[in-house]
């Protein structure tokens, strides 16, 4: 069979690459590395030489695995650092400015923006093994599931309808959490929220479903 041709080569890290995310329009690609660097590339360029990035950010002090593009403001990129950093940074990829920075209690393993709400979710490793939700742009923590797993949370993904988050962890479990309600679910819960005096209804530690 004919070998696959390389369409593009991006050389801008000095340590292994451990995070990658395309922006939804395909114009920008963000990468994070064990060199503590976040690179933002113009994904439309070919044969890019070493160091030829749109932006290179060196504010993290540990490996950057967690990267997430904002769905409702495409210029926003969130990045999260490992154990010696444990910080969420929010970047304006048009200007290169760091807009917000939040120190958290433990390493950040993944990030997800809410699709229709100004919030961002982070998952964490030791010692919290937590799932946290932060308001944007205040970065105030509005919900937390501490010890969501019995080992560090490694990955997260969002359901197609945008209300359920699946997490996978070192405890060999998948758990599903109803974090952001869809329109139908929100209407169904409206009376319940009113009865308990308003506010967010948090998932239990076991989530809405646990697969062991």
pLDDT in tens, 83-96: 999 999 999 999 99
Check pLDDT > 90 for residue 198. Answer: no
How many other CB atoms are there within 10 angstroms of residue 35's CB atom?
18
pTM of the model: 0.85
For residue 82, the model assigns a pLDDT of 98
- Overall CATH class of domain 104-211: mainly beta
| Mean pLDDT value across residues 184-211 | 51
Question: Residue 92 carries which DSSP code?
Answer: E
Domain ranges of the chain: 104-211
Report the residue count for the chain. Answer: 212
Q: Spell out the residues 6+ positions from residue 152 whose beta carbon is closer than 8 angstroms to its own.
A: 107, 109, 124, 125, 126, 129, 169, 170
| Mean pLDDT value across residues 49-65 | 86
Check pLDDT > 50 for residue 184. Answer: yes
Check pLDDT > 80 for residue 101. Answer: yes
């Amino acid at each position: 069979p004919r070998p696959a041709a390389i369409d593009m080569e991006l050389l801008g890290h000095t340590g292994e690459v451990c995070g990658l995310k395309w922006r939804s329009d395909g114009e920008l690609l963000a990468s994070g590395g064990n060199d503590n660097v976040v690179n933002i590339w113009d994904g439309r360029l070919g044969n890019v030489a070493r160091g030829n990035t749109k932006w290179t950010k060196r504010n993290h002090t540990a490996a950057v695995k967690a990267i997430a593009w904002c769905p409702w403001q495409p210029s926003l990129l969130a990045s999260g650092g490992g154990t010696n950093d444990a910080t969420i940074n929010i970047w304006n990829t048009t200007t290169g400015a760091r807009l917000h920075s939040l120190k958290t209690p433990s390493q950040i393993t993944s990030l997800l923006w809410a699709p229709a709400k100004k919030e961002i979710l982070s998952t964490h490793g030791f010692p919290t093994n937590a799932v946290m939700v932060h308001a944007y742009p205040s970065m105030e923590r509005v919900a937390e599931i501490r010890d969501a797993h019995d080992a560090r949370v490694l990955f997260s993904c969002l359901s197609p309808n945008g209300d359920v988050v699946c997490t996978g962890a070192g405890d060999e479990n998948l758990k599903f959490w109803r974090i952001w309600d869809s329109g139908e679910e929100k209407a169904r819960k409206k009376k319940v929220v009113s009865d308990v005096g308003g506010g967010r209804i948090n998932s239990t530690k076991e989530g809405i479903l646990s697969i062991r």
